[in-house]
Amino acid sequence: MKHSATLAVQLAEAARIVCRVAAGHSLAEELAPARDGGIRESRAALIDLTHGTLRRYGRVQAIVACLSRRGRPDALVEALLWCSLYALESGRHAEHTVVDESVKAAGLLERWPAKGYVNALLRAFLRERSTIEARLERELEAKYQHPQWWIELLRNAYPAAWEAVLAAGNAHPPMGLRVNYRRTEIDEYQARLTSEGIAARRCGGQALLLERPLPVERLPGFDAGEVSVQDPGAQRAAHCLDLHSGQRVLDACAAPGGKAAHILELADVALTALDIDAARAARIAPNLERLGLAASVLVGDASHPEQWWDGRPYQRILADVPCSASGIVRRRPDTKWLRRASDLVAFAERQQLLLQALWRLLAPGGKLLYATCSLFPQENDAVLEAFIVGERTARRLSLTDGAPAQWLPDAEHDGFYYALIAKQA
């Protein structure tokens, strides 16, 4: 997409991507071809349209269904309507502009017979908005913009907070920074941001929270390794590991290396950074190099340590296990619509396997930190309790930061779960 890309061009490209996501493809993979091409402003507009539409997916689906008098439209036209409805409600463009550009986008998508239909449906929404809003209030998926099974699980798990959790999942994510104290002090770095007109505030530890997100290229000292982008909730992991210099530490699911880097910033340890995905593992070393850090990077399956382990036990293990990612859906808005309730059973089984395999690698007296970015107890407390019941040498400890195991997403951080387990001799 060129710098001069019109809203019609942006809507057409967003519709193509959203249509493929609706068919089961990953949003990140669909956006990847545009990652290095085009102008930053055009890519930012595309990200806003795709992410914004998918955050409101339950709502825009319901609106199109409500107004489609002649049945469900062609999949690509339907995706264009979803994106157009988000553009209308975003307030970034005049209403008549969105309608006109959406009609042009239908032509760009070679859906010329649908141009009149697109025009009529969008104008009908503008005319009937108050009536439609009243109807959407009675439909859970449209109101809360999450799948119904997801809503029910959160309502059962967090009776007093479930609506706030869902609202957070639909919001724009905050941009958190982690200051590398090996290169600079947090107060000093915050002062540099202020001098460049970038507003930020402390958020515990080495974390700063930007008032407004911005490209990493605008962060002073980024290339020099003075700072990294990392959610403040993710920064809890390294602090909760109770690190000490000289320890052998394993980050068992390390890519792309954010938590591994934080571990090395906090303590002089011998770190092994492991990941099962070779392409993702390849990102770890360059990220560490930028920060002036080094680790042994391995590609391997943490559930099969016989394939890569050297037989020497670790004093600390970070088990940042694969999960539903329900705590970070505002960053990956397609996740909530691609997941199924049955996926939680498969995740829990995989999590148990990883815990059991990694436990064998932990030295007596060592500690393992179980971590997920999930909000569902089925992947968190349930997994931990089952493991501890079945493993006589495991004892759950209080977290070193004194905070609860489960952090729910809010304006400052995403949702994460941490549990520290000690291995008795």
User: Which residues participate in catalysis according to the annotation?
Assistant: 373
CB atoms within 10 A of CB 367: 23
Paired strand residues for 177? 208, 229
List, as one string, the DSSP characters of 189-242: HHHHHHHTT--EEE-STTEEEESS---GGGSTTTTTTSEEE--TTTTHHHHHT-
As a whole number of angstroms, the distance between CA 148 and CA 169 comes to 14
- Positive/negative CA dihedral, 296, 297, 302, 305: negative
Choose among 41, 39, 51, 55: nearest CA to 14.
51
CA dist 386 and 172 (Å) reads 35
Q: Alpha-carbon distance 237 to 417, whole Å?
A: 9
- Is residue 232 within 8 Å of residue 199, measured between CB atoms? no
Compute the C-alpha angle 217/264/395, nearest 5°.
Answer: 130
**Among 89, 95, 136, residue whose Cα is nearest residue 119:** 95
Tokens of 243: 């690190």
